[in-house]
Every structure is written in structure tokens, then in C-alpha cells.
Amino acid sequence: MAMIIGHGMVAFRDPNGIRPLVLGKRDIDENRTEYMVASESVALDTLGFDFLRDVAPGEAIYITEEGQLFTRQCADNPVSNPCLFEYVYFARPDSFIDKISVYSARVNMGTKLGEKIAREWEDLDIDVVIPIPETSCDIALEIARILGKPYRQGFVKNRYVGRTFIMPGQQLRRKSVRRKLNANRAEFRDKNVLLVDDSIVRGTTSEQIIEMAREAGAKKVYLASAAPEIRFPNVYGIDMPSATELIAHGREVDEIRQIIGADGLIFQDLNDLIDAVRAENPDIQQFECSVFNGVYVTKDVDQGYLDFLDTLRNDDAKAVQRQNEVENLEMHNEG
């Protein structure tokens, strides 16, 4: 989206429809209508706009200063490939993306994962199901229903700490996990707990939370991830860590389990995740799943580009960038 001074606003969606974009309107009076574009439908709701539709892949929207709306399809062969990770992690549960209720998709994720847990961990001694807030709450509630186990809020979240996996520096991420969550000892003491998270990226959060659960008195700590193993970097707008900093990159499930210190670890299957989301809109035939399977839908991402990306995104590179920013600021202040 961009403002054109003296003319209006232009917005467009990529030809693969990877990132979401919605169009809404509200009538000011009989003669005036306002239009709005946003990445999620919930933004329209909160500002009193009516949802019109999802912007199509490859479509451009132009809104003049006078409020006139113009649209044009700018791509020759647009294809809808919504990012699967949007539904798992980024989007608010009260949003609709490409006619899919994010909330309903997450409930479906819980159903699929709960069935897998019941099937593969049939004799597991779980006393309680606890979500790692907040994205996984709806997922964990459905898992608890499937397993016939109590659902409890075992962690209290500090809402003023940001997303830890995109924070620069391992030490800062570790501190931030402790500041972000606090364990309710009453829900952990002398219990075997099943923790549910939306995904595992670096593993920093998982390792710290499992440690916190044990400190709060848990006897055994199992972890279930609503997303499959994240093994590959994202190149389509998510500030994902470099491949070498992803805990699942080049590792099997049991290796990951040992690193994070869990008594058991289970991931959602990719096909089950796709089915959980597509159940809400069967018209979508495929999703952008590169962080899980390494397949990049634009077909222009090679290993050379990924290696270059790694040099920009790893912690050492970001530390140098931060130092340069500090030095530039000091030079500016001295000047």
C-alpha cells in the first residue's frame, strides 16, 4: 500500500496471493463512500467498515482523494497460494482471510493434532493440557476435548513483550521469554502436563517454557506443536531466522526434543495442517508452505539466494547492523 500525494492511495496483492489483503467500505452519507484496504478483515471491523471482498492475487486497487474506486488485474496468470503460516501464527482469530475463518481453522488444527496425539501417544500419562498463550489457546482447547483431559491456563502473558523469535540476539530472546510469560504453579505442581504451542521456530521459547514448567513443579512435560517442523527460511515477507538458526533445520524430532528438554514432542503433519485450513474454503487448491517443505511457489529462489539471505539474517550479521546503527546515530548527534 502507498499514498500518492495529491492523487490518492494505491494497493496491490502479489500474483501468488501469498500475503492477505482485503477491501472494505463505509457510507458516510447518501453521496459519499469511504474505502479501506488492510491485511486482515478485523481491521475493517474495528473501524466500522463493511467487508467487501479479498483483493485477488495480482490485483491493484486505486482509490482517489475524492473516494472513487478503481481496480485492475495486473498479472497475466495469477494463482492463489495463501501463506499457511498466516493461519497458524500471524492472523488474529477473529479475522477472515481468503474466506477462511482463522478461528475455525485453528480449531480444526486442534482436532487434527488431538487425533494424532491420541493415536501415537495412546498410553501417555497426561493430567492436563496447557496452551502457550495466546495463539495456541483455541488449538489446545480442542486437543483437550479430543483427549478428554482438563484444559487449564497455566501461563500468564505479559502483553507488552513482542514476538520473541524475531528478536535479535539469543540472550535477549531468552530474557524476553521469562518477561513474557509467568507460570501459575497451582496448575503445574505434581502434574504431567501437555503444553501446546502454535509452532517451534528457534526453540528458544520452547526450551525456556519447559524449564519454567519444571520449576513450577511439573513432573513430566510434553510439547505439541500445531505446525509441522519449520526447516526452511521464509522469503516472502516474514523476518524468519536464517536456516542454520531454525531448530528443526537438519534435525529429527527426537534431537529437537532433547535440545528443548521435553519428555515428549509431537508435530502436526503438513497434510493435516493443510486439510485443517482448507476445510474452511475448499476452493483454495494450494498454499504457500515453504517454511515447512522448502518449496517456493515463485520458482525463482535458489540455494545461492538462500545462502545470501543467511548472511543477512543470522545473529552475527544483525549484531553488526545494530552496531553500525548506533555508530551512525552517535555521529549524527555529535554533528
- By the 8 A CB rule, do 12 and 74 touch? yes
Lowest mean pLDDT among 26-35, 88-97, 172-181: 172-181
Burial pattern 207-228, b for ≥16 Cβ within 10 A else e, equals bbbbbbbbebebebbbbbbbbb
187 in helix, strand or coil?
Answer: helix
- Please tell me the predicted confidence (pLDDT) of residue 30: 85
pLDDT bin (cut points 50, 70, 90) of residue 335 is low
- Give the amino acid at 22: V
Cell of 144: 483437550
> Per-domain residue ranges for the chain?
2-73, 103-296
Query: Is the alpha carbon torsion for 237, 238, 244, 246 positive or negative?
Result: negative
Burial of 182 (0-12, 13-18, 19+ CB in 10 A): middle
Cell of 75: 498479472
Mean pLDDT of 8-17: 97
60's enclosing H/E stretch is strand 59-64
- Please tell me the predicted confidence (pLDDT) of residue 180: 85
Lowest mean pLDDT among 39-48, 176-185, 194-203: 176-185
Q: Which tens digits make up the pLDDT trace of 205-262?
A: 899 999 999 999 999 999 999 999 999 999 999 888 889 899 999 999 999 999 999 9
CATH architecture designation of domain 103-296: 3-Layer(aba) Sandwich (3.40)
